Amino acid sequence: MTAHAIEAIQLNKDYGDGRGCRDVTLTIRKGEAFGFLGPNGAGKSTIVKMLTGLIKPTSGKAQIFGYASGSMEANRKLGYLPELFRYPDWLTGEEVLAFHAKLCELDRTAAKQRIYLLLDEVGIGSRGRDRLKGYSKGMQQRLGLACALLGNPDIVFLDEPASALDPVGRHEVRELLARLRSQGKTIFLNSHLLEDVELLCDRVALLNNGQVLKEGKVSEVLRSKSSWRIRVSGYTPLAPERIRQLLEVNVRVSDQAGEDEVWLELELEDDEQIGLVNYILIELGLTLYEVGKTTSRLDEWFFEAVSGLEHRGERR
């Protein structure tokens, strides 16, 4: 068996109006959690559908453990949660899972045990016999996740798995996915919740207009500079100059925060440097009222790339 769980090789999809994807090449290793990011309309769902065999590429190829996507061999290896998971509301959660168990050709006794186990795993064990018309969007999403995991797949494709969940539900789903990763499962996560990608994924790719713009290890992205904002009073131009001399860091005065207060903005290579920055400001007679990061660094990585596209007029 190949070490590559998922491969996209020069994938192209032409819908006749310029949309789709262009020359997408990706390699995801077995046991890796891979985050797929991009603005709305970037082509993420199109690529996921080609990787899972739901649609055919115009050219190029997609493979699951070396098997052609869409083949019976590939389908046996994967589970898939679409962004919109919907079934007739007169079915119960258990009935939906029982239907999927038949598709997976699971033994009836084994399927029953697996259904109860997964309903508990996704947090709706007490609602399995309730009809879907009584399910919230978050509960339906949890049920969809259970369906994706029913066949004990080696690869799980997840399209916005936490989009309808509250913060507690998001945390529970992250913990479940972390357990799956620890079991050697491969996770392909398509999400706009950058915090979830940052906490869960090993690598990440950024897509726009159907093309992969950036790709890298999350750990390397997180080692890049982080942005800080400091609210101070008694500002003096000596403060930015002193910090620049000691740390080679540029400080910007962003805007007024009050009658005698301003916001200072700076980027640091190492978060531990913020202590020295604060010390310098206090030594120069400034009063500090608030110190904090502006965003997560994955947010910065994402928005910097997208903002660059907007300036060049490339984002559609």
Among 69, 31, 67, 34, smallest CA distance to 49 is for 69
For 190-231, give the secondary structure using H, E and C.
Answer: ECCCHHHHHHHCCEEEEEECCEEEEEEEHHHHHCCCEEEEEE
What band does 150 get if pLDDT is binned at 50, 70 and 90?
Answer: very high
Fold of 4-220: Rossmann fold (3.40.50)
State the pLDDT at residue 155.
97
State the pLDDT at residue 316.
45
What band does 307 get if pLDDT is binned at 50, 70 and 90?
Answer: low
Q: Which residues of 263-280 are buried (b: 16+ CB within 10 A; e: fewer)?
A: bbebebeeeebbeebbeb
What residue ranges do the domains of the chain occupy? 4-220, 226-299
Classify residue 136 as left (phi > 0), alpha (psi -120 to 50) or beta. Answer: beta
| CATH code for the structural domain at 226-299 | 3.30.70.260
Ranking 109-113, 235-239, 254-258, 278-282 by mean pLDDT, the lowest is 254-258
Is residue 141 exposed (0-12), middle (13-18) or buried (19+ Cβ within 10 Å)?
A: buried
State the pLDDT at residue 315.
45
Tens digits of residue pLDDT in 165-194 = 788 888 888 888 899 999 999 999 998 778
What band does 241 get if pLDDT is binned at 50, 70 and 90?
Answer: confident
Higher local confidence (pLDDT), 294 or 217: 217
pLDDT over 50 (residue 273): yes
- Determine the Cα angle at 61 with ends 30 and 45, to 5°: 75
pLDDT over 60 (residue 309): no
Q: What is the token pair recorded at 218? A: 């999350």
DSSP state of 55: S
Ranking 5-14, 121-130, 176-185, 245-254 by mean pLDDT, the lowest is 245-254
Q: What is the token pair recorded at 40? A: 């709305």
pLDDT over 70 (residue 18): no
Amino acid at the residue 246: L
pLDDT over 50 (residue 311): no
pLDDT over 60 (residue 249): yes
Q: What is the pTM of this model?
A: 0.75
